[in-house]
Structure 1
Amino acid sequence: MVTKAKCRFCHKSYVYRPGGATSQLNRHLARCTQFQNKLAKAKQQLAQGTLNYVADDGCLVVNPTEYDHEHTRKLIAKMIIVHEYSFRMVEHKWFNILVKWMNSKYECIGRKTIKNECMKVYESEKEQLKKSLREAESISLTTDLWTSNQNVQYICLVAHYIDSDWVLQCRVLNFIELDPPHTGLVIAHAVFECLVEWKIDDKVMSITLDNASNNDTATTNLSAKLLARKNGQFDPQYFHVRCAAHIVNLVVNDGLDQIEGLISDLRNTVKYFKRSPSRLYKFVEVCNDYAIKVGKCLSLDVKKRWNSTYKMLDTCIEYRSAFGYYAQVDQNYAWKPTESEWNIYEKIRPILGEMAGATTAFSGSVYPTANVFYPYILKVKIALLKAKNYKDPYLKKMTAAMLDKFDKYWEEKNNVMVIATILDPRFKMRYIQFYFSQLYDSSRCEQEVADIKKELEELYKKHELEQCRKMGGSSSSSTTQSTSSSKETTSSVACLVSSEFQSFLESSASESSKSELLIYLDEANHPLHDKNFNLLHYWKVNALRFPVVSSMAKKFLAVPASSVLFESTFSCGGRILDDYRSSLKPATVQALVCASSWIRGSKSPPIILGEDGDDGDIESVELPSSVVESN
């Protein structure tokens, strides 16, 4: 009996007879192409792995069918480094129970073994970072000192640079022990040794530090060392950048000293209400009785963060009269601010507001670019100049003192932030001209703008020569393009051209055509309201059109205006060297801190400037909602 059937792989019909079905079916499967492809794919998946997926940080993860203990040990080491866990964690009973349950072939690891693995990860990541730094065109530095709970002094050195893909990178290079005394010469020597070790002494653009006197000595000495290396790219006039956040804090403290009584009264007031919900209810009732709108909750500041103090003042001022009325119904409330203190605060409020915005911007741990900081500085300067014209002699004296301290640091001729702002297509030179006209009289404004234009042109020519050297000196640039007449002209053409016309050609040929810089500056500014604008992406796209100017942008836009990044680095050091791990050696601490920075890399999202990032440090005292709603 003949029977027909279909192959379940290719769905083709075939005929077989009883007794020969098995052999015919096997012969068909051997010839079936689809079956063979599926069989090969199944074998490949079985050999390579069973599951592939993309993790949250973008890394491709493969779960192998074969247990790889060496790779598992490496992943655990990275986990300990990034999350700042103790080495002893691998010996915890329930950690081993969990991992054993996930894979029965897992072999227990001791704390000494995992420490050695962490050091191997550190060395491996260091080699990768060295390759990345070699490709960087320019590197800007920040450095600061920190004291651990072991009473050991550490110096931290951080590199900032824009890579070939126009992504801003930030890496902790060294976190080493620094023996006293911490003089400027000792700091300069330690930083220079780090630069030589990483072989980046010929790529340094700038260094950002706070305003300690030993740092001034350190930058002078370090600048001399770098100049002695005969690095043609190094320019000492842009080398020393003062920490903007530190300067703003110095300036604002002069203003806050004058209203210390008001700050203390409001701090005690918020604490007084916080301790008793019944007082909060009574306070809201007083607001209702006197038709005072109840809106923002009260804020309690953090003494070490002055912008949190500004937020406390700004929320409390809405209840200025309410505090006075409340004092009449609560005899125990003894912190009513005086009217004169409120009046002083009202007048310096605009200044503190501008400084609070600047401090919030400077407090970001990851900066997208350096160009955004100069506009903040200009706004602070203009606010101080306006306050200086107050008729109140007390306020004039206070703002004059703040302005003197401001000018002490920012009147120095270091235009790093100015040039970075000009290299932002939203600002360009027009922004500088607009604000200089508000800061200076007409003659001073004209002179300042002319000086910056001259500096820009000199900087452009320097980068233009660098580009020529990189290209082997064969390419001619836009500013040096010239057309020379050939000496070997044919006699037939020579007889047609007069000598006067030939002289005209030679003179006009020496005239420079419009440079990249002028073309860039003459183009219309990019709209300021474009929220999706990405400055580094702009220069990535326009690098071919403006090769020289984009090279300038890559250097200046990587310069950090603040050294507050060290707060997060030192916090990391504090968590590593807690009370239970205080016996770690400095070399181990450096490996853990640096490797954590290298592994995290640029995967963390950048902080967006202009947003208030301090809410987590400010304690809010919520007003009773049930009473507020009845208002």
Structure 2
Amino acid sequence: MMRRGMQEWQKISKTTCRADCMKIYEIEKKKLKKSLECVDKISLTTDCWKSKTQKIEYMVVTGHWIDSCWNLQKRVLSFINIPPPRGGLQISDAIFKCMKEWGIENKVFTITVDNASSNDLAIRYMKDIIQRSRTLACEGNLFHVRCCAHILNLCVQDGLREIEDIIGNIRESVEYVNRSEARCVQFAECVQQLQLKDKKLIRDCKTGWNSTFEMLSCALKFKEAFKMFKERDPFYGCCPQEGEWNKAQKICSLLESFWTATHIISGSEYPTSNLFLQEVQKIKSALNIYAQHEDLFLKQLASKMKEKFDKYWGDCNLLMAIAAVLDPTKKMLAVEFCFPKLYSELDASKHISKVKEIINSLYEEYVVEETNKGAPHLSESESFGSSSARRSQQNSVYNWDDFDDYCAKVEISETKRSELVDYLEKGRLKKNEIPKKNSCLEWWRMNRMQYPILSKIAVDILVIPVNSVASEATFSAGTRVIDSYRSSLSPDTVQTLLCGGDWLQHIHGLKNKTKVS
């Protein structure tokens, strides 16, 4: 049949198909590896996932960096099977193997992971090993980044657990209506009679809290329709009571700030890290308000979520604060405004001082790094012309080359040292004074000549992902690749298909819908 349509068609075997995929994978891998040679620093995100069809665990490593054209880049670098036991040591070894394979072991700036204890152990192993061969920025204080989306999820799940039965009833109500076409028609008639604007119910994914929030928010709009539907359908027995609807309404009002923050953190494909401090502050302020609420249910709920929020959030604020300072529309004013709302007065003062200390320390490290980059050129020229230099010194007593070299070093270091002070002392910009597209990053690109050191710091800090959503999104593709019909795929083939597919999508400008979890 195929040959009738196209005479040139030739049947190929699965071996040939696999060989073609491997060939493309190897070609694209070489290209990507070559491009990574030009990258100074790269931040990683990683996460683990268990395939239901294969019953084995995979780990994905995703790289994030800013290219020479100042564009945010993201690529899946590794998608490998980790055999049991999957502890901190095994995760650490797998990440190191990936880094070595790509030649980026001396370029990794930060690693973003969720709050699993095995990940904490893995990062501890990695820091110890890396610091034997090179120094990490700010003594490793920025190396371990905790996934913000995961922290938010932990807080929200505590709240949702309080109305688990109510959520179950609302979820079952939505499923009951959608299970039959006749019920959908009958429910639509109820909606029409009540003249409701919304027309369609939303189903949720039980493992994604944001999906559950959207389902609850939507169902609340159809509250009266569900009551009317109950009167018409005698078999509908899971309709929530008025008190249950009220509790669902209250928790939705509390979770709205979480939902907004999650979409800003995870909904954008390439969010820069300067966006997040203000969202954290909004969430904390909302929890503080609800913790003093007159309603006992909301008060207890918010207090419990606030306790979990404070437990996990301390380490994340440092990176977010530095990123906010590097936003020309915020600078130190953002930290001085947010921290008193996030901490007690005494703690806020300590944390503000720590942010200033870290920024100064980070700046000095970059100054030294840039100075060391220029040093080999001086020594090479000296060694290259050493004999002629000696002759010229003998011929002229007025020659003072080492003084010129000394002045050059001092003048350069003084210029670099003043960048941070100059940037912070100048007033912050208004939002309409900077470009809209990737505004913060674009501003640094345009001002890189004025702030050569600070612009490099901004590039490295702003690209750091504060969530592991980029890695988690790969698992959605993994579910499609390793479906029930392809459960016998080898781990090497799976990595070829997922990594190669990700690279080709970026080459051809294709985008997946970002999954928020």
TM-score (norm 1): 0.68
Given candidates 276, 279, 284, the residue that maps to 1:376 is: 279
Letter in 2 for 1:574: T
Q: Which residue of 2 aligns with 1:595?
A: 500
Letter in 2 for 1:210: D
Question: SS of the residue aligned with 1:371?
Answer: helix
Question: SS of the residue aligned with 1:543?
Answer: coil
Q: Which residue of 1 aligns with 2:152?
A: 248
Say whether residues 1:316 and 2:222 are aligned partners: no
Q: Which residue of 2 aligns with 1:84?
A: none
TM-superposed CA distance for 1:549, in Å, is 0.9
Question: SS of the residue aligned with 1:143?
Answer: strand
Letter in 2 for 1:410: W
Q: Which residue of 2 aligns with 1:457?
A: 360
**Counterpart-to-counterpart distance in 2, 1:178 and 1:513:** 45
Residues 242-301 of structure 1 show CA distances to partners (whole Å, capped at 9, x for unaligned) of 11111111111111122223322322333344331442254236526xxxx544643232
Q: CA 1:194 to 1:342, structure 2 compared with 1: closer, same or farther past 3 Å?
A: same
**Counterpart-to-counterpart distance in 1, 2:373 and 2:457:** 15
TM-superposed CA distance for 1:372, in Å, is 2.1
Question: SS of the residue aligned with 1:174?
Answer: strand
TM-superposed CA distance for 1:232, in Å, is 5.7
Question: SS of the residue aligned with 1:601?
Answer: helix
Structure 1 unaligned blocks of 5 or more: 1-92, 476-509, 618-631
Letter in 2 for 1:517: L
- On the 8 A contact 1:365/1:565 being kept in 2, the answer is no
**Counterpart-to-counterpart distance in 2, 1:387 and 1:462:** 43
Q: Which residue of 2 aligns with 1:560?
A: 465
Say whether residues 1:188 and 2:95 are aligned partners: no
Q: Which residue of 1 aligns with 2:340?
A: 437
Q: CA 1:351 to 1:198, structure 2 compared with 1: closer, same or farther past 3 Å?
A: same
Question: SS of the residue aligned with 2:64?
Answer: strand
TM-superposed CA distance for 1:111, in Å, is 3.8
TM-superposed CA distance for 1:187, in Å, is 1.0
- On the 8 A contact 1:203/1:233 being kept in 2, the answer is no
Q: Which residue of 1 aligns with 2:19?
A: 116
Percentage of identical aligned residues: 38
TM-superposed CA distance for 1:314, in Å, is 1.7
**1:95-106 equivalence runs, <5 A:** 100=6
RMSD (CA atoms): 3.2
Q: Which residue of 2 aligns with 1:547?
A: 452
Q: Which residue of 1 aligns with 2:406?
A: none
- On the 8 A contact 1:202/1:231 being kept in 2, the answer is no
Residues 528-555 of structure 1 show CA distances to partners (whole Å, capped at 9, x for unaligned) of 6978332332222211111111111111
TM-superposed CA distance for 1:176, in Å, is 2.1
TM-score (norm 2): 0.82
Q: Which residue of 2 aligns with 1:283?
A: 190
TM-superposed CA distance for 1:514, in Å, is 7.7
Q: Which has the higher helix share?
A: 2
TM-superposed CA distance for 1:191, in Å, is 1.1
Given candidates 390, 410, 422, the residue that maps to 2:313 is: 410
- On the 8 A contact 1:426/1:525 being kept in 2, the answer is yes
TM-superposed CA distance for 1:433, in Å, is 2.1
**Counterpart-to-counterpart distance in 2, 1:513 and 1:531:** 26
Residues 489-530 of structure 1 show CA distances to partners (whole Å, capped at 9, x for unaligned) of xxxxxxxxxxxxxxxxxxxxx999982223323233241697
- On the 8 A contact 2:76/2:503 being kept in 1, the answer is yes
Question: SS of the residue aligned with 1:575?
Answer: helix
Letter in 2 for 1:561: V
Q: Which residue of 1 aligns with 2:208?
A: 305
- On the 8 A contact 2:435/2:443 being kept in 1, the answer is no
**1:357-368 equivalence runs, <5 A:** 357-364=260-267, 366-368=269-271
**Counterpart-to-counterpart distance in 1, 2:505 and 2:188:** 47
Letter in 1 for 2:55: N
Say whether residues 1:386 and 2:289 are aligned partners: yes
Letter in 2 for 1:401: K
Structure 2 unaligned blocks of 5 or more: 379-412
- On the 8 A contact 2:278/2:338 being kept in 1, the answer is no
Q: Which residue of 1 aligns with 2:175?
A: 271
Q: CA 1:568 to 1:444, structure 2 compared with 1: closer, same or farther past 3 Å?
A: closer
**Counterpart-to-counterpart distance in 2, 1:400 and 1:307:** 20
Q: Which residue of 1 aligns with 2:123?
A: 219
